[in-house]
Every structure is written in C-alpha cells, then in structure tokens.
Amino acid sequence: MFENLTDKITNALKKLSGHTVISENDFDDVLKEIRRALLEADVNFKVVKNLQRDIKDRVVGENVLEGVSPSQQIIKIFQDELTNVLGKERKDLSSENNKPAKALIIGLQGSGKTTTAAKISKKLFSESKEVLMVAGDLKRPAAVEQITKLGQTIGVETFSNPQAKNPKELAKEALTLASSNNYDWLIFDTAGRIQIDSELMDELDDLHKTLEPSETILVVDAMTGQEAVNVATEFQSRVPITGIVITKMDSDARGGAALSIVAETGIPILFIGTGEKLDDLDIFYPERLAGRILGMGDVVSLVEKAQQSIDESKAIEMEQRLKNATFTLDDFLVQIDQLKNMGPMSQILDMIPGFKSMTGNIKNDQIPSENDLKKVEAIVLSMTPLERRSPHIIGGSRRKRIAKGSGTQPADVNRLLNQFEQMKKMMKALSSGKNMPGMPF
C-alpha cells in the first residue's frame, strides 16, 4: 500500500535532511519531485496542484521553530497538508439514534460490495450490535448464496427473498423484520451498478427513498485510481453518499484513489480494505495514513492491531515462561500464529516508525515475510513433541529428518534453532527489567 509513492517521497525529503538552511531553489526541486511522485501515483492533477501550493505557502510563511530543523518542520507541514487532503478527521458510522440504523452498500460491479457488507457487519457484531444483512443483489447469480455463507461465517443473520419482485419490495420486508426483532443495524447489499445503466440507477434512487438509510456507503476499487473519483461523482449525483470504503488497498502501490477522492468529492472515507479476510477492514484515520505515506509509520494502529490479535492472558503466560526459561518451540508457534493474525508482514513493517528509512541498509532476505513464517511453522511442526520441548537434543540426524519433513534444508533448521536460543536469551534479559510479551521476530 503506497509502496512506490512512499519510497519516492521519502527519497525526495531526504535531500533536505541535515541542512541548517534550506534555499528556495532546494525546496522547489524537492517539491517538484514530490509532485511528480503524486502524479505517477495517479493522484488527480488538481489535487496535486493545490497540495503543492498549500505546502509552499505554509513553508515560505513559517518561522523556523527553535530546536527543530528546517527539514523536520517541512515534513510536519507536509504531513498536515496531506492529512487535510485525506479528510482531516476520521468519520464514524452514524446510526442517527435510530433502531434499526440502516446502511445501504452501493458501487460498481466487482468493487467488493458484498464482502465489504460482511466486513462492516462483522465489525458491528464485534461491538455487540445485533446486525441483519440483507441479500439485495437480485441480479448476480449466486449473490444470495454468497452473502448467506458470509453471514454464517461471521455469525450474523441474513435475510433474503428470491421471490421479491424488486429491491424496494425486499427492503420493505427487511425493515419490518429488523424492527420487529429489535436489530441495531440493517446492512443492505445491492446489485453492482454500471454508470451508464440509467434503469439500475433509477432503481437505486427508489431503494434509497424506501430505506432512508443513515449511511449510504459507496464501495470503490483502489485499483481504478482516478476513475474512483468519477464513480463517486456519478453516484453522488443520484443518491446522497455519506461515506466511502476503498477496497484492495493492499494491492495498490500507488494510492491515487485515497489521495484524490475526498478532496474532489468531499465525501469522507470510512474504511479501507487491506486484504481478503473478513477482518481486513481498517478504520480510516487521515493523519495516520499521511504518516505512513511519508514513511513515518503508524505505531498507534500497530498497537491497536496487536491488542485485537494477541491474547493478553497468553502473552502474560509467555512472559512468565520466558522469565522462568521454560519457553518452548510450541510457545514459539503460538507467538507466530498471533503475529500472523495481525495481518501481512509488509503491512505490519510499514507501521513501524522509521522502517522505510532503515530498509535501505537491510537486505531483502533479512526482512521476515509470510513465507518465512510458514517455513518456521513447517520446521517446528516436523519436530516431535519432545524435540519442541527440548530442542538441545536435536543433533545431525534429527536435523536431517526435520528438514526432510518440512521441505527445507538442515541449514534452515540450524538457523531457526540458533534464532530461538538468541530470542530466549534476549527476551529473558528484557523481561527482567521491563514487562513485555515475547514476539518471534
């Protein structure tokens, strides 16, 4: 996510570091590089032009703060202005104190509406809300089956009626059901629209009037870049959109959609989809995302992900085992599993402040990846229970057997055992001075 853009912007800003005085020419050169990087990231030209102007106006008129280098101050100004482009503040889902609150999920075909409806429903359900999902896509084959299966997966009730004549009739039935059963939220999935299909757009307008939703959420695909702005504008002309979800952000290294859509339409981004799993829906924080784009990481989101993914009781238990030197490779597997639950390694590493600037000195094969974690799991699972509890007994013949069983080389087994011993020593030393749960890498 934003990989290419972040690399180019951070490389441009590095040219200002270490300068006690920055000339206007030096700053203009850096600003041109950033402008080029944003355009290559498929950010709308007008958005780039306005951002460039606002940054320069602030930099030229800003007094240098005591104790702060000019380059640091420029980066802070850049982050502030980038945050403004992204929407300044996060927007929560609004229920308008109605019960049930209604969310109408709309978008083009293939944008990920149905999966997004399930992701939002799961998020609300995890907040102890009673949710009813409605299979409102009466056009696409197997659409009802898809959302029903997703509902079963997340433990949320799904309502469908294949005999309904149109979505409006289905909406009336769903509203009656949701009201009589005291649901907190009704999430209504819709058929994918095509911008030029006036009949479907008229149907959407009619559906909106029937439901009177507190949230009308447009789902757009990050891979469409600037076209996402056109999609939002087209839908906004037919129904009042209250929020946007950008899907497939994990697949888009450019980021043009997120950086253009708010500035051009004024519609806030609610969530960003960062993967295919039903947990891969991140609340959109403009300031945090601006920091990630500038290579500054996002430690707050990293901590939140850790809190959601790591079992606190298990972490305390692991800490105690480390202190007592009873931490085993079985415990190591549990730690890896918790780390995997936090999401793809690339996303986790991007949230670590300064990681982007450090990676220039780190070889690619030294950065752990999902494949590295899978390899570690395979090696440990190829050991016997006794070997996992007492890895010191693993000699040459055992190493060969474990390597063969895990599809790796004896050198890989040696490397893991050495890393494990080093980690035990390091974590034991750290835990004696400061309470912290162990992590596998």
Reading the block at residue 357, the tokens are 């600037």
> Does 109 fall in a domain?
yes
- 121 and 48 in a single domain? The answer is no
Residue 249 φ then ψ, to 5° = -65, -25
> Does 196 fall in a domain?
yes
Each residue of 123-146: pLDDT tens digit?
Answer: 999 999 999 999 998 888 888 999
Among the candidates 29, 56, 86, a domain finishes at 86
Task: Note the pLDDT of residue 120.
Answer: 96
Please classify residue 311 by burial: count the beta carbons closer than 10 Å to its beta carbon, then call 0-12 exposed, 13-18 middle and 19+ buried: middle
- 269 and 315 in a single domain? The answer is no
332 contacts: CB under 8 Å, gap ≥ 6: 376, 380, 420, 440
> Does 94 fall in a domain?
no
Task: Note the pLDDT of residue 258.
Answer: 78
Contact 436, 319 (CB under 8 A): yes
Task: Note the pLDDT of residue 383.
Answer: 92
- 107 and 77 in a single domain? The answer is no
Task: Note the pLDDT of residue 155.
Answer: 94
Among the candidates 289, 316, 348, a domain finishes at 289
- 253 and 284 in a single domain? The answer is yes
- 258 and 114 in a single domain? The answer is yes
> Does 157 fall in a domain?
yes
- 124 and 261 in a single domain? The answer is yes
- 111 and 73 in a single domain? The answer is no
The phi-psi region of residue 255 (left if phi > 0; otherwise alpha if psi is between -120 and 50; otherwise beta) is left
DSSP per residue over 284-307, as a string? Answer: --HHHHHHHHTT---HHHHHHHHH
> Does 33 fall in a domain?
yes
- 132 and 183 in a single domain? The answer is yes
Reading the block at residue 116, the tokens are 């997004």
Each residue of 333-392: pLDDT tens digit?
Answer: 777 777 666 666 556 656 555 545 544 444 444 455 667 778 888 999 999 999 988 888
Task: Note the pLDDT of residue 181.
Answer: 94
- 184 and 253 in a single domain? The answer is yes
Task: Note the pLDDT of residue 101.
Answer: 94
CATH number at residue 132: 3.40.50.300
> Does 92 fall in a domain?
no
Tokens 């503040």 belong to residue:
89
- 148 and 181 in a single domain? The answer is yes
- The Cβ of residue 440 has, within 10 Å, a number of other Cβ atoms equal to 20
> Does 176 fall in a domain?
yes
CATH number at residue 310: 1.10.260.30
Reading the block at residue 255, the tokens are 């980021």
CATH number at residue 26: 1.20.120.140
Task: Note the pLDDT of residue 245.
Answer: 95
> Does 359 fall in a domain?
yes
DSSP per residue over 47-81, as a string? Answer: HHHHHHHHHHHHHHHPPPPTTS-HHHHHHHHHHHH
Tokens 């990630």 belong to residue:
292
Shortest CA distance to 322 belongs to which of 440, 401, 162?
440
Task: Note the pLDDT of residue 362.
Answer: 43
Rounded Cα distance between 191 and 438, Å, is 47
Rounded Cα distance between 14 and 30, Å, is 9
Task: Note the pLDDT of residue 305.
Answer: 57
- 107 and 255 in a single domain? The answer is yes
Contact 427, 325 (CB under 8 A): no
- 122 and 233 in a single domain? The answer is yes
Residues of the chain with pLDDT under 70: 1, 18-19, 61-68, 195-196, 252-255, 295-326, 339-370, 424, 426-441
Instruction: Please state whether beta strands 215-221 and 243-247 pair in parallel, antiparallel, or not at all (unpaired).
Output: parallel
Rounded Cα distance between 35 and 362, Å, is 28
Contact 117, 141 (CB under 8 A): no
Q: What is the total count of domains within the chain? A: 3
Domain that holds residue 60: 3-86
Task: Note the pLDDT of residue 123.
Answer: 93
Among the candidates 261, 289, 317, a domain finishes at 289
DSSP per residue over 160-217, as a string? Answer: --TT-SSHHHHHHHHHHHHHHTT-SEEEEEEPPB-TT-HHHHHHHHHHHHHH--SEEE
Contact 107, 220 (CB under 8 A): yes
